[in-house]
């Protein structure tokens, strides 16, 4: 792993660490409390929040990202704000409107689908509820690799038709509907493996279903993050700062991928989200998938002409009951997050401090991961 600026010693690093536990409004990724380790360096704050099930070699990339932000700071920005998508977990249709209220001004919505214990009809109902609340929203769905190729081909067709329907409140099978509306922007990680994604793209093309396939886990958890695109398994890429080892590594991977990228977060605190915003703000402008039209994303205000980017998946702060900054300090305005340094509020660091045994667990993990850098 390439070197990165950092502390003079592991003891210096550990002395700078604050471990916090953030209570969540809804269960997400199977948890109701999110633990992260925050570290203050000479250039600002970084976040180490690799999920507990990740082994040390994978988690070490997340630590590298934290050290880059804390000791090197963000890369130069091309824009002063970044548009983000709203994110709707696999909740009931009746809960959708309340969740969307946490994402003021967002015109793109990512909807979780293929949840264990649910059926496709639940996903369709969730999509319909989103379109009832925000009729003009651009819709993405995320299956987290849960479908087989056959299941994905069927589900993508059905969900695309649900989005295209002019009257989104009509239930499937109740008579002919017009499909003149815009379809799904993309389906994120519909299948688990690169080989399945390649087969799915071919199947969708053969079926006349024109929906982009975006790879997430096939990039952020892969030894070779470029493989899925080289193999023809993705029209787009969803990339996260921490799993790739920092914002500069993300920018390098994005340039090599050669497809439109969506910068996303990994259920981060405001500190981690700010790192994602910094990476998205440094991306050169791109154009969206199959039709070549500009993405519904962050309108750039920096140099370089058309520097619009797809709406980033960085609006996850609304899932926390409490975060490490005061409400309003780093929040959505007209569907955008500001490009700005974020420093935790000292009182919140104290109030959200994890219990001693969990702090020790994180410090031990940092020691092991630091040895791998």
Query: C-alpha 69: how far from its chain's center?
Result: 18
> With contact defined as beta carbons under 8 Å apart, do 10 and 363 qualify?
no
Reference 235, options 255, 211, 219, 256; nearest CA is: 211
Q: How far apart (Å, rounded) are the C-alpha atoms in residues 305 and 258?
A: 19
Following DSSP, what letter does each residue of 86-137 receive, concatenated?
A: EEE-S--GGGHHHHHTTSTT--EEEEE---TT--HHHHHHHHHHHHHH-TT-
> What stretch of H or E contains 47?
strand 44-48
110 catalytically annotated:
no
112 catalytically annotated:
yes
Reference 314, options 288, 294, 340, 293; nearest CA is: 340
Q: How far apart (Å, rounded) are the C-alpha atoms in residues 61 and 69?
A: 13
Q: State phi, psi for 312 to the nearest 5 degrees.
A: -80, 150
Q: How far apart (Å, rounded) are the C-alpha atoms in residues 258 and 195?
A: 19
Q: How far apart (Å, rounded) are the C-alpha atoms in residues 189 and 205?
A: 17
Q: Is 120 exposed, middle or buried (0-12, 13-18, 19+ CB in 10 A)?
A: middle
Q: How far apart (Å, rounded) are the C-alpha atoms in residues 226 and 95?
A: 37
The single residue of 112, 134, 138, 199 carrying the catalytic annotation is 112
The single residue of 240, 248, 348, 359 carrying the catalytic annotation is 240
Q: Mind telling me the catalytic residues?
A: 112, 240
């Amino acid at each position: 792993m390439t070197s990165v600026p950092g502390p003079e010693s592991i003891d210096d690093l550990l002395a700078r660490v604050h471990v916090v536990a953030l209570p969540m409004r809804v269960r997400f990724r199977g948890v109701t409390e999110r633990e992260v380790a925050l570290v203050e360096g000479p250039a600002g704050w970084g976040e180490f929040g690799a999920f507990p099930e990740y082994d040390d070699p994978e988690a070490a990339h997340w630590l590298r990202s934290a050290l880059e932000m804390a000791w090197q700071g963000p890369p130069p920005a091309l824009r002063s704000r970044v548009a983000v998508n709203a994110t709707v977990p696999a909740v009931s249709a009746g809960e959708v409107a309340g969740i969307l209220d946490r994402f003021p001004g967002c015109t793109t919505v990512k909807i979780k689908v293929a949840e264990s214990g649910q059926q496709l009809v639940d996903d369709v109902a969730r999509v319909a509820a989103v379109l009832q609340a925000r009729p003009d929203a651009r819709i993405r769905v995320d299956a987290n690799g849960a479908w087989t190729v056959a299941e994905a081909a069927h589900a993508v067709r059905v969900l695309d038709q649900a989005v295209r329907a002019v009257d989104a409140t009509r239930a499937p099978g109740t008579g002919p509907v017009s499909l003149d509306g815009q379809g799904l922007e993309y389906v994120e990680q519909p299948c688990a493996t690169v080989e399945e994604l390649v087969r799915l793209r071919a199947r969708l093309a053969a079926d006349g279903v024109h929906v982009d396939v975006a790879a997430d886990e096939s990039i952020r958890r892969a030894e070779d993050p470029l493989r899925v695109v080289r193999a023809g398994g993705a029209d787009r890429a969803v990339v996260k700062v921490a799993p790739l080892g920092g914002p500069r590594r993300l920018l390098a991977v994005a340039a090599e991928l050669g497809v439109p990228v969506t910068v996303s977060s990994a259920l981060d605190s405001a500190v981690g989200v700010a790192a994602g915003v910094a990476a998205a703000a440094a991306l050169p402008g791109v154009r969206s998938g199959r039709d070549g039209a500009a993405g519904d994303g962050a309108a750039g205000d920096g140099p370089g002409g058309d520097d619009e980017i797809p709406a980033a998946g960085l609006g996850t702060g609304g899932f926390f009951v409490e975060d490490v900054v005061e409400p309003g300090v780093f929040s959505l305005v007209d569907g955008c997050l500001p490009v700005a340094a974020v420093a935790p509020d000292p009182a919140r660091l104290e109030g959200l401090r994890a219990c001693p045994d969990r702090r020790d667990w994180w410090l031990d993990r940092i020691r092991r991961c630091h040895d791998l850098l």
